[in-house]
Amino acid sequence: SGTLYIVATPIGNLDDLSARAARVLSEVNLIAAEDTRHSGRLLQHLGIDKPMWALHDHNERDRATGLLDRVEKGESVALISDAGTPLISDPGFVLVREARARGIPVSPVPGPCALVAALSAAGLPTDRFLFEGFLPAKAGARAKALQALSRETATLVFYESPRRIQDLVAELATCFGPDRQVVLARELTKAFETFYSGTTGEVLEAIVGDENSGKGEYVVMVAGAAPERTTDALVEADQVLRLLLPELP
């Protein structure tokens, strides 16, 4: 059998494509892409001319079967998405699950990923984080999803479109309170890369006052909630205090 390669591509700066990614893309028999026109431009820039198949959310199941039949017969296929790492808020899950089920080798060619790039430079804790992708578009469902996350102690990471960024930061202020730290990473690796950080209120003020904030792509990061003190910890602290009190001057 051939191999299915999952290849990360740039999230803005074309120089971020790895040497290995370029080599794999030039060696495979076929490239499956979310949008063949968009990816065609990247391949043209790299001087690569390959047959391409479109693979998106609506045809992934059908396409997966055809693609994997070819890999089983010995061809190699690379999956790419419009930007960054496939399967991360992008198509490919059905294809990879099916490949694994059929015992077909799947090999990642790692590289750019907006959420990792954003976290690496935000200055928020990264030891534990929860990637939530895109929140639901409808107001009620969004509020509910945020409410469910309000006591989460890990750093939260979201993807958001520029159209909704102001609304989202306002919703964060409502759900998580005005003091929660937020970092927005806009246009990562591109000419107008910008980080906004501060409390929900400060960041809201900053983007409302920035005429460019309505353009570009965003990763939204929110510091986790302070850990809740458990009843056990409170009881223990109370006992320690009782023991210490008589000894205090």
Which one among 5, 129, 176, 218 touches ligand SAM, defined by CB under 6 A? 218
Give the helix/strand (H/E) hosting 156: strand 155-160
DSSP letters along 53-84, please? Answer: EE--TTTHHHHHHHHHHHHHTT--EEEE-SSB
Task: In whole angstroms, give the CA distance from residue 33 to residue 55.
Answer: 6
Among 210, 211, 219, CA closest to 188: 219
Q: Given the rule CB under 6 A, which of 14-22, 85-93, 97-105, 167-175 is the region that contacts ligand SAM?
A: 85-93
Q: Given the rule CB under 6 A, which of 67-75, 88-96, 100-108, 195-203 is the region that contacts ligand SAM?
A: 88-96
CA distances in angstroms from 234 to 7, 151, 210, 229, 237, listed in the order given: 50, 18, 45, 7, 5
Q: Does 99 sit near ligand SAM (CB under 6 A)?
A: no
Q: Does 60 sit near ligand SAM (CB under 6 A)?
A: no
Which one among 42, 80, 96, 113 touches ligand SAM, defined by CB under 6 A? 113
Q: Does 166 sit near ligand SAM (CB under 6 A)?
A: no
Rounded to the nearest angstrom, the gap between the alpha carbon of residue 53 and the centroid of all alpha carbons in its chain is 24
Nearer to ligand SAM, 4 or 113 (CB): 113
Quote the least distance from Cβ 52 to ligand SAM, whole Å.
Answer: 18
Residue 13 CB: number of other CB atoms within 10 A?
Answer: 13
Residue 100 CB: number of other CB atoms within 10 A?
Answer: 12
Quote the least distance from Cβ 69 to ligand SAM, whole Å.
Answer: 26
Q: Given the rule CB under 6 A, which of 46-54, 57-65, 173-181, 182-190 is the region that contacts ligand SAM?
A: 182-190
> Which stretches of the chain bind ligand SAM, using CB under 6 A?
11-12, 81, 83-85, 88-90, 113-115, 159-161, 185, 187-190, 217-219
